[in-house]
Every structure is written in C-alpha cells, then in structure tokens.
Amino acid sequence: MAEPSKVIHIRNVGHEIAESDLLQLLQPFGLVSKIVMLRAKNQALLQMEDIHASVSALQYYSSVQPSVRGRNVYMQFSSHQELTTDQSSHGRNSDQESEPNRILLVTIHHMIYPITVEVLHQVFKAYGFVEKIVTFQKSAGFQALIQYNSRQEAVEAFGSLHGRNIYDGCCQLDIQYSNLSELQVHYNNDRSRDFTNPSLPTEQRPRTSQQGYPDPASLYAFQQPGASYAQMGRAAMIAAAFGGTLPHGVTGTNERCTLIVSNLNTDKIDEDKLFNLFSLYGNIVRIKILRNKPDHALVEMADGLQAELAVHYLKGAILFGKKLEVNYSKYPNITPAPDAHDYLNSSLNRFNSNVVKNYRHCCAPTKMIHISALPQEISEEAILNHVSEHGSVINTKLFEVNGKRQALVMFETEEEATEALVSKHASTLEGNTIRISFSQMQSI
C-alpha cells in the first residue's frame, strides 16, 4: 500500500460515472479540492483538503465496498502527494496515457536537497545506458528529461523508480513518458549532460556547491530502506516527515538529550509509563525517577532533536490529573545505575524502524488513540474491555490495513486517552503485544 497522501486514486470508473458521483463518495470525509478524470483508463484522482480526510475515507472504505451507479470502484492512496495545476489540466497521473518512450519526464516532489545531473545519473544508470539528461525549473517544480539508449531501458526505469524517493523521506520521483524523440544538449554541466559527447563546453558557470548535502553515493536507490537516514541531517529528515518544515518552535539544532520531567503523580507513575509516552517522539536510552524528588524524573532521549520534539509536544500535557512540566536537564545523560531503567536496546523503542513514518505521526496528546499489532480475530468488545477503565469511550472503529488489524478509540478527553496510552502501550491483549499512539484524526 502506498504511503498516505491527500490524493486518492480511484479505479474502475466507468464512462457513466460523473465527477459529482465521486464527490458524493468522498465529501462526507472532507472538502475535495481537486479532481482529475482519466476517462481513457477508467480512473480518477481526487485530492482531499488534508491528509486526515483521505485517511478517514480510505479507512472507512476498507470495510465498506464503495459503489457508484451499481459499479464497484476501488480506492487507494496515490503516489502523488498532491495534484499540480499541470496534472489538473493535462491529466498527468501514475498510470500514464502517453505511449512508452525512451525519454522520461521526471518531476521531483518534496525536494529537501538539491538535485543535479550527477545525482540523477546515479539513480537512473542502474536501468540502462543514460545518453542525455536536461534539468529545468517549471511551475510544477524541479523537472528533468532523461534519455535512454532504448525504450525498454526507460520502461524498466519507469516501473522501478516511479513514486520512489531519492533520499529517505524526500525528493520523490514522479515519472511519465515524454513525447520528445531526441534531447538537444548544448553544455555539459550540473544542469545538462550529453554522456555520448564529453567534449561539449561547460558554459564556464560555477558549479553549485554540494557542501553540507548528502553525497550522491548514498542515494536511497542503492541502499537498503532506511540506510540513508544516517547520511541526512536530522533536522532535514524531520522536516521531510512534517511536510517540508519543522513544527513551529522546533529548531532542529538542540543538542541536549536529557529532560527533567516534574509534577508527576507519584501514586500512579513509573518508568515504563513514562517510556510509553516519551517514546512517541524518539528512542529512549534511560529513565530515572529521582529518589529525593519522586515527582521528578530524568528522561534521556537518543538525540537532541527527539528531545526537542518531546518538550515541544508534552510540556503542559495532563497525565494522571497532573500538568506535566518538561524541560532540558543540566545533566548531559543519565549514568547507568540500579535505579536507572535502561531502554537502550529495547525492542519497544518505536524509532528502531519506519523512522520517517514515526516522525510523521508525532503530535501533542489527542482524544484519539490508534492501536496496532492486534490479533486477527480481535473484537471491538475485547478492545473496549482492555482500555475503557481509563475513561469514557465515545467511539471505536476496527479496521484492516495490509491484512493487519488496527483500531481507533476516541475518548471524551485528551487526559483519558493519554492515560490509556501510557498504561496500555506494549501490554498483552489475547497473546499479542499491542502498540498505541495518538491519532491526529478529528473523528471516526
């Protein structure tokens, strides 16, 4: 399944189905901002106002078969994060109507790092001999034309790379076939290159400095998923996950990893409950509740940026009837000791995998919790019995994503949802160790 997107791709759209029919399917979940009908392919692309609306729609239709005028239609997230003006007017999409051609038109979305001819060549040469590359800036964003020696090589590159990211979490490749028959290249520099004619002039313009950016050798296309995370600046990785900019007030430059958390409810709190809450924002190294101040605890995060996110989202949160105070500690780390709980190698640390996805889900406590890793045969009643002791449940929804059972549970207050999360994350339910996070959805 594709990563969540504001754009929903609908298949099996017959000629009898009008735009208004599709709007009726999706408007209950939020405003539809753009629509592209792809009549030749019996498909359509609809862009919702925000990602929460598209997620709500697909979660609903994962258990209810959508039907229009007696015809079943099928929905999934598009590889596009949004529809550009070009797409709306020309119907560009992931299922291209143009004939396969040896020249590809590539648009780079979510471009956190500059992309040059060298970077593109590293990515595309794995699928055949790249003869020429020309890059340019258009209203649709940064684009490139890439000419292969044969049409088959271009088809293979298209099939393998469309929708992929060059770097982990950013620089997404949106590929279609060009209608051109031959590229004209006049200069060999960082904006254009004819690999069949190395003697072309460079135009004597200075090259764009790549200092401070990932080396093209670390490209995502040639690494295992997640491997390029270590190559990227932490702030850029977070920015990519949050849609290009860091949350307001988060600098990405903090280097202090240890936090002091105060005003804790001493009757109900322990290290594992603090771990369940703070691990939403990064990996936890150690946690220590202070003996001489039992309403205070030290929490050591894996890096300064994760610590900054925890401060940003948890300062002032209510936990067990107390308003949390979260600040940076004067101590650089927590010294290993019998009274310091060590989580460094815990498999429950959430950021051991799916790093970008976990950053994307960072938010302040909400009224809604998302439960995953559920048993396949679980019932809503069993989930309710497991979490309802923590507050008044307003609504629940059990659904399936990629064959895995998940649930949303909405409480009356954020405080109740927070209590359920810290108490029941990593608990056992019918033999499964469940995982709980906050959902940013407003309703079920």
Structural domains of the chain ordered from first start: 7-77 (3.30.70.330), 103-194 (3.30.70.330), 258-349 (3.30.70.330), 368-438 (3.30.70.330)
pLDDT tens for 74-129 read 999 998 888 874 554 333 344 444 678 899 999 988 877 778 888 899 899 988 99
Distance CA 90, CA 266 (A): 62
Distance CA 258, CA 308 (A): 10
Q: Which amino acid is at 15?
A: H
Distance CA 114, CA 136 (A): 12
What residues are paired with 319 via a beta bridge?
322
- Mean pLDDT for the stretch of residues 340-352: 92
pLDDT tens for 174-227 read 899 888 888 988 888 878 999 999 888 886 544 443 334 444 434 433 333 333
DSSP secondary structure of 74-118: EEEE-S-SS--HHHHHH---SS--SPP-SEEEEEEES--S---HH
Please tell me which residue, 219 or 163, carries the higher pLDDT value. 163
Q: What is the mean pLDDT of the chain?
A: 84
Please tell me which residue, 243 or 423, carries the higher pLDDT value. 423
3-state secondary structure of 122: helix
DSSP secondary structure of 127-174: GS-EEEEEEEEETTEEEEEEEESSHHHHHHHHHHHTT-EEETTEEEEE
Percent of the chain with pLDDT over 90: 45
Q: Which two tokens stand for residue 324?
A: 């949390």
Residues in the chain: 444
Q: Which two tokens stand for residue 359?
A: 């950053």
Q: Going by C-beta distance under 8 Å and a sequence separation of 6 or more, which residues neighbour residue 90? A: none
* Predicted confidence band of residue 242 (pLDDT cuts 50, 70, 90): low
- Mean pLDDT for the stretch of residues 387-414: 93
Please tell me which residue, 192 or 233, carries the higher pLDDT value. 192
